[in-house]
């Protein structure tokens, strides 16, 4: 296969070897080979349809490209840095295989619209894979919630015990975040699925191309309306990376809670051994490496978002070589996100919930204090006065190292004479959780309804 560059006609000296290596992208953009071949086959079919290629030439090109794809997948394809990128490597190999007919494939297009098309085709498929993995994680969390609807744990604000909640309700809070992420990715996909092919270098082409036909062959919903924008737009990559950053932020928040909950101080859950590691010096250790690492990997995705935004911020229209730098941050974002989702989707169904430890923790920190205030309000006391009364009762408990539900009726009536013996039903954890019986509340009956609604949403 020749390594002669296709643009050397106006040059009188060869490219400096270091510059050749410095400007090449084939080491990382070769992952686009399937989409480059896919786009080239569609382009060849379109050129034959409009009469630029004969049917025989079209068939030769398509057969040659199919053979090249087999070579790549078999690991026998010889990638050349001298040919700069995935596009020129494939084109050069095609010409070597089928002769001068291979040189006709690039008629009516440029590497500018070719690479933009490849990236969109690639990202479209990756979004579908990511959304599928995201759904798998969501389904695992919904199943876990279904098993733990009646499990009570402390709910926190400021990482201080606040009110008792259902553990399942907490899991469904994570699910709501992930459902938004899934919707964002679906919306992003709509803008990814726009075809730039046909824009050529920047101004379109004088050949009688049929972009509608090419778009239909490639499954694009829309065709880029402006040739300048088509070749220089990377908004879709930035939007995807922004969505990925949000999703990684959510996974990082989950990770923080999993790390805390699996610690000896909380002891709320046990992560499966397959997702933890030990210590080289401390034999008792079981480290939650998976959530810690996901928490750490979030930063690299944030960095990729900043990198892509910075890459585009000063570019004049249309295409510039800067845009070669879009691929590595985009590729790594995809790899990081897919890996993080996969390991969480595998890990969460195996989480062991320590119900008694959660229940005991929920009894500490006066988590039913708000319920006592609500009780007093229902008896006719203004809320601010009820708040003051309960605050005095809590101070008494702190001074005497006891809990609200352990106070005698006589002691409670010392804070407010309207308290009667029915107060104890609202001071139980079960009573507190069950009282939040409305859409979005933590009452088990509402959590079960929320799970049913989520299953319908996922099925749709």
The CATH number of residue 72's host domain is 1.10.275.10
Q: Is there a single domain that holds both residue 182 and residue 270?
A: yes
Q: Is 158 a catalytic residue?
A: yes
Which is catalytic among the residues 158, 206, 408, 438?
A: 158
Q: Is the four-CA dihedral 167, 269, 290, 32 of positive or negative sign?
A: negative
Q: Which of 78, 107, 136 is the last residue of a domain?
A: 107
- CA-nearest of 1, 8, 3, 27 to 85 is 27
**Rounded Cα gap, residues 19 and 8, in angstroms:** 15
pLDDT at 5: 60
- CA-nearest of 234, 253, 254, 257 to 333 is 234
pLDDT at 320: 87
Q: Is there a single domain that holds both residue 343 and residue 453?
A: no
- CA-nearest of 353, 378, 209 to 270 is 353
CA distances from 339 to 134, 257, 270, 379, 458 (A): 11, 19, 22, 55, 22
Q: What values do phi and psi take at 402, rounded to 5? A: -140, 180
pLDDT at 188: 98
pLDDT at 326: 93
Q: Is there a single domain that holds both residue 337 and residue 395?
A: no
Token digits for 161?
């015990």
- CA-nearest of 120, 125, 110 to 43 is 110
| Per-position b or e across 156-179, b if 16+ CB within 10 A of its CB | beeeebbbbbbbbbbbbbbbebbb
Q: Is there a single domain that holds both residue 247 and residue 346?
A: yes
Q: Which of 359, 390, 422 is the last residue of a domain?
A: 359
Q: Is there a single domain that holds both residue 273 and residue 351?
A: yes
Q: pLDDT tens string for the chain (460 positions)?
A: 666 666 465 555 566 666 666 667 888 899 999 999 999 999 999 999 999 999 999 999 999 999 999 999 999 999 999 998 999 999 999 999 999 999 999 999 999 999 999 999 999 999 999 999 999 999 999 999 999 999 999 999 999 999 999 999 999 999 999 999 999 999 999 999 999 999 999 999 999 999 999 999 999 999 999 999 999 999 999 999 999 999 999 999 999 999 999 999 999 999 999 988 887 888 788 899 999 999 999 999 999 999 999 999 999 998 888 888 899 999 999 999 999 999 999 999 999 999 999 999 999 999 999 999 999 999 999 999 999 999 999 999 999 999 988 999 999 999 999 999 999 988 999 999 999 999 999 999 999 999 999 999 999 8
Domain assignment present for 20:
yes
Q: Where are the beta strands (DSSP E) in 338-436?
A: 352-353
Which is catalytic among the residues 67, 263, 279, 400?
A: 279
| DSSP labels, 254-269 | HHHHHHHHTSTTT--E
- CA-nearest of 304, 297, 194 to 255 is 297
**Rounded Cα gap, residues 182 and 374, in angstroms:** 38
**Rounded Cα gap, residues 348 and 345, in angstroms:** 6
Q: Is there a single domain that holds both residue 174 and residue 320?
A: yes
pLDDT at 28: 84
Domain assignment present for 208:
no
pLDDT at 14: 66
| Per-position b or e across 41-51, b if 16+ CB within 10 A of its CB | bbbbbbbbbee
Q: Is there a single domain that holds both residue 306 and residue 370?
A: no
Domain assignment present for 209:
no
Q: What values do phi and psi take at 273, rounded to 5? A: -55, -30
How many C-beta atoms surround the C-beta of residue 383 within 10 A? 11
Q: Is there a single domain that holds both residue 397 and residue 346?
A: no
**Rounded Cα gap, residues 21 and 36, in angstroms:** 22
Q: What is the total count of domains within the chain?
A: 3
Q: Which of 326, 359, 392 is the last residue of a domain?
A: 359
pLDDT at 322: 87
Strand, helix or coil at 162?
strand
Domain assignment present for 212:
no
28 near 327, Cβ under 8 Å?
A: yes
Q: Is 250 a catalytic residue?
A: no
101 near 44, Cβ under 8 Å?
A: no
Q: Is 352 exposed, middle or buried (0-12, 13-18, 19+ CB in 10 A)?
A: exposed
Token digits for 398?
């702190």
- CA-nearest of 268, 252, 250, 241 to 175 is 250
Q: HSE on the CB side for 17, CA within 13 Å?
A: 0
- H helices, E strands: number in the chain: 19, 6
pLDDT at 172: 98
One-letter-per-residue 3-state SS of 360-379:
HHHHCCCCCHHHHHHHHHHC
First-to-last alpha carbon distance for the chain, in angstroms, is 50
Q: Is there a single domain that holds both residue 239 and residue 151?
A: yes
Domain assignment present for 418:
yes
Domain that holds residue 440: 363-459
Q: Is there a single domain that holds both residue 391 and residue 266?
A: no
Q: Is there a single domain that holds both residue 440 and residue 399?
A: yes
Helix, strand, coil proportions of the chain in percent (round to 5)?
Answer: 70, 5, 25
Q: What is the CATH number of the domain that holds 237?
A: 1.20.200.10
Tokens 């259902």, residue located: 166
Q: What is the CATH number of the domain that holds 444?
A: 1.10.40.30
Q: Is 246 exposed, middle or buried (0-12, 13-18, 19+ CB in 10 A)?
A: middle
Token digits for 1?
């296969």
Q: Is there a single domain that holds both residue 180 and residue 234?
A: yes
């Amino acid at each position: 296969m020749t390594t002669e560059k296709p643009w050397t006609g106006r040059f009188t000296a060869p490219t400096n070897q270091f510059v050749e290596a410095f400007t090449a992208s084939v080491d990382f953009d070769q992952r686009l080979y399937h989409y480059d071949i896919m786009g080239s086959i569609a382009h060849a079919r379109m050129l034959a349809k409009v009469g630029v290629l004969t049917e025989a030439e079209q068939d030769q090109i398509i057969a040659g490209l199919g053979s090249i794809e087999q070579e790549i997948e078999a690991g026998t394809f010889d990638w050349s840095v001298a040919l700069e990128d995935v596009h020129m490597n494939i084109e050069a190999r095609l010409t070597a295989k089928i002769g001068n007919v291979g040189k006709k494939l690039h008629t009516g297009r440029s590497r500018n619209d070719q690479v933009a098309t490849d990236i969109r085709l690639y990202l479209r498929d990756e979004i579908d894979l990511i959304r599928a993995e995201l759904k798998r994680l969501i389904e695992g969390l919904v199943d876990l919630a279904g098993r733990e609807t009646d499990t009570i744990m402390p709910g926190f604000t400021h990482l201080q015990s606040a009110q008792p909640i259902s553990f399942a309700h907490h899991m469904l809070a994570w699910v709501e975040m992930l459902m938004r992420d899934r919707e964002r990715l679906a919306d992003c996909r709509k803008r990814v699925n726009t075809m730039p092919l046909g824009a050529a270098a920047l101004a379109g082409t004088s050949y009688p191309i049929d972009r509608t036909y090419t778009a239909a062959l490639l499954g694009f919903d829309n065709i880029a309306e402006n040739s300048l924008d088509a070749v220089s737009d990377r908004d879709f990559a930035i939007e995807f990376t922004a969505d990925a950053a949000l999703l990684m932020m959510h996974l990082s928040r989950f990770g923080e809670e999993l790390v805390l909950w699996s610690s000896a101080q909380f002891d709320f859950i046990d992560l499966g051994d397959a997702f933890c590691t030990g210590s080289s010096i401390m034999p008792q250790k079981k480290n939650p490496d998976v959530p810690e690492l996901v928490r750490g990997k979030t930063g690299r995705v944030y960095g990729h978002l900043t990198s892509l935004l910075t890459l585009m911020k000063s570019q004049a229209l249309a295409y510039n070589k800067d845009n070669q730098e879009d691929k590595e941050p985009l590729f790594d974002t995809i790899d990081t996100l897919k890996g993080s989702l996969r390991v969480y989707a595998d890990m969460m169904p195996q989480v062991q919930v320590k119900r008694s430890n959660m229940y005991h923790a929920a009894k500490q920190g006066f988590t039913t204090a708000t319920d006592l205030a609500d009780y007093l309000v229902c008896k006719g006391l203004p809320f601010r006065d009820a708040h003051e009364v309960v605050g005095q009762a809590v101070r008494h408990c702190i001074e005497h190292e006891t809990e609200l539900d352990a106070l005698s009726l006589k002691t409670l009536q010392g804070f407010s004479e309207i308290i009667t013996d029915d107060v104890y039903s609202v001071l139980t954890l079960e009573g507190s959780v069950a009282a939040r019986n409305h859409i979005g509340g933590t009452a088990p009956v509402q959590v079960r309804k929320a799970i049913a609604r989520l299953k319908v949403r996922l099925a749709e």
